[in-house]
């Protein structure tokens, strides 16, 4: 799995903790073996030849996401993760000039 600025880990193929709208990514030693949940909408492209999934987020954005805990991966948690990633699509404050 590749973020917009570098490798982030591998898709956890053995996980039954995510539904079809999410990917569980094992970050390995990069963030202390933590797993993260990524909405499928963050997938930018899939390189089938290289066997790499590219997402449209930076490593830091993924690192700062709500921590994944399969025991608490309920609907509320998935909404929190979705809101976190949706907010990252918004431009920073002041980036869009106000029209008066």
- pLDDT tens by residue, 29-70: 766 678 888 888 899 999 999 999 999 999 999 888 888 877
pTM of structure: 0.75
Residue at 92 is within a domain:
no
Cβ(52)–Cβ(1) below 8 Å: yes
Domain of residue 15 covers 2-87
Cβ(50)–Cβ(6) below 8 Å: no
Cβ(26)–Cβ(82) below 8 Å: no
Residue at 75 is within a domain:
yes
Residue at 57 is within a domain:
yes
Cβ(58)–Cβ(4) below 8 Å: yes
Residue at 97 is within a domain:
no
Q: How many domains does the chain have?
A: 1
User: CA 63, CA 35: separation in Å to the nearest integer?
Assistant: 10
Residue at 95 is within a domain:
no
Residue at 96 is within a domain:
no
Residue at 83 is within a domain:
yes
Residue at 93 is within a domain:
no
The set of residues, in sequence order, having a beta carbon less than 8 Å from that of 82 and lying 6+ positions away, is 39
């Amino acid at each position: 799995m590749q973020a917009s600025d570098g490798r982030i880990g591998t898709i956890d193929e053995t996980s039954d903790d995510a539904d079809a709208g999410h990917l569980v990514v094992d970050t390995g030693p990069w963030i202390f073996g933590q797993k993260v949940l990524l909405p499928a909408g963050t997938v930018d492209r899939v390189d089938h030849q290289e066997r790499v999934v590219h997402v449209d987020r930076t490593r830091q954005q993924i690192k700062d996401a709500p921590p994944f805990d399969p025991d608490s991966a309920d609907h509320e948690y998935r909404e929190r993760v979705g809101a976190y990633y949706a907010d990252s699509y918004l431009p920073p404050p002041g980036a869009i000039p106000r029209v008066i």
